[in-house]
Amino acid sequence: MLNTKMIGNKITEARKKINISQVQLAQRLFISPQAVGKWERGESMPDIITFNRLSEILGVDLNYFSESFQSGAMPIKLPSGKQDKKFSWNMSGGNWVDADFSGLKNLHEKFSASNMQHCKFMASDLSGLLLKSNNLDSCDFSGSDMSSSSIQASNLDNNVFKNSSLKAVKFLKSYMNSCDFSGCDLSNSQIQYSHIGNNLFKDCSLKEAAFLKSHIEGCDFSGANFTGLEFKSGGFGNNKVAAAVWNHSAFIDTQIADIVFEGRLEDCYFENCVFNWVKFQNATLINTFFKNNRFKRIKFVNCKADRITYEFLKSGKADLTGILPEQ
């Protein structure tokens, strides 16, 4: 945990060394003198963005504010191109409310085991970030780069990720509820042992994504691209998939319920699936493989199928009413 009293003393020391008042420092930071006073008394501390600006004004390196820095001399910032490596704060175990981290680049801070509410990370570089045992509620990550990040054993509720890059992100043993992933790139992402409920995935790219032993329900995937997706050993129920792209998509050992598939399904694969109240409507099935599935609660309405797909369904004793085989 960060020592607010220690940081306050260091701000006071550095401010006096350059001979400016609390009022003058506040003016340069565009904040109130009362806020500076609270910092120096150890009652609060600056956020990450303000720390960067503060170090520039006081002429010190960010390392100056760390507990490991030896007192007695202040490190002066080196000329451009010769600065020391960026200091990385350990922000784990914190309680962050209404914090604004928007626009940050190369953020490598540790946020694990933190509670975050109403925080902003808009248009930030969060690539490679590790979130473990976090509670994120009503935070905004819109337009951020979270590629190759890992989210483990965390709860995500009511968060916004619109138009963010989530390429190759790993979700492990996490709960995501009522979040907005509209327009996100989730290609090559992995979702394992997770529960995803009532989220928006409109117009998302889920190319080559993999869902393993996860349950997805009540979500809106309208316009999503499922090309190359594999869904294995989980549940996929009561989701909207209107105008979605299905190409080389696979469902294996999956319970599929309350879904309406429409449009073109090409080179898709359904194996050992249980269908409950599933409908293929106005769909065209091309080279789509059905093996060892239970078809009791599946219905085809105004569909077309190529000969090989039609024969797969026929051998599985599906009700072929509503399917017109291609000649």
Show the tokens assigned to 184. Answer: 């996100």
DSSP state of 208: T
Q: Which of 311, 316, 284 is nearest to 298 (CA)?
A: 316
For the stretch 99-104, contacts whose Cβ atoms lie closer than 8 Å and that sit 24 or more positions apart, written own/partner, are 99/47, 100/47, 100/49, 101/47, 101/48, 101/49, 103/49, 104/48, 104/49
> Could you give the CA distance from residue 115 to residue 100 in angstroms, rounded to a whole number?
14
First to last CA, the chain: 71
Distances in whole angstroms, Cα of residue 145 to Cα of each of 156, 164, 167, 187: 17, 6, 9, 13
* pTM greater than 0.75 (yes/no): no
Min mean pLDDT across 121-130, 183-192, 210-219 is at 121-130
Residue whose pair of structure tokens reads 């010190």 in the numeric block:
60
Q: pLDDT tens digits for 221-261? A: 999 999 999 999 999 999 999 999 999 999 999 999 999 99
Q: Comparing 161 with 104, which gets the higher pLDDT?
A: 161
Provide the 10 A C-beta neighbour count for residue 76: 10
**What pLDDT score was predicted for residue 289?**
92
The continuous run of DSSP H or E covering 290 comes out as strand 289-291
What are the structural domains of the chain? 4-65 (1.10.260.40), 95-325 (2.160.20.80)
| pLDDT tops 70 at residue 155 | yes
Helices (H) and strands (E) in the chain, counts: 5, 25
Cβ(5)–Cβ(55) under 8 Å?
Answer: no
**What pLDDT score was predicted for residue 259?**
97
Distances in whole angstroms, Cα of residue 213 to Cα of each of 26, 174, 225, 257: 53, 12, 21, 16
Show the tokens assigned to 101. Answer: 């981290």
Q: What percent of the chain has pLDDT over 70?
A: 89
Average pLDDT rounded to a whole number, residues 180-192: 97
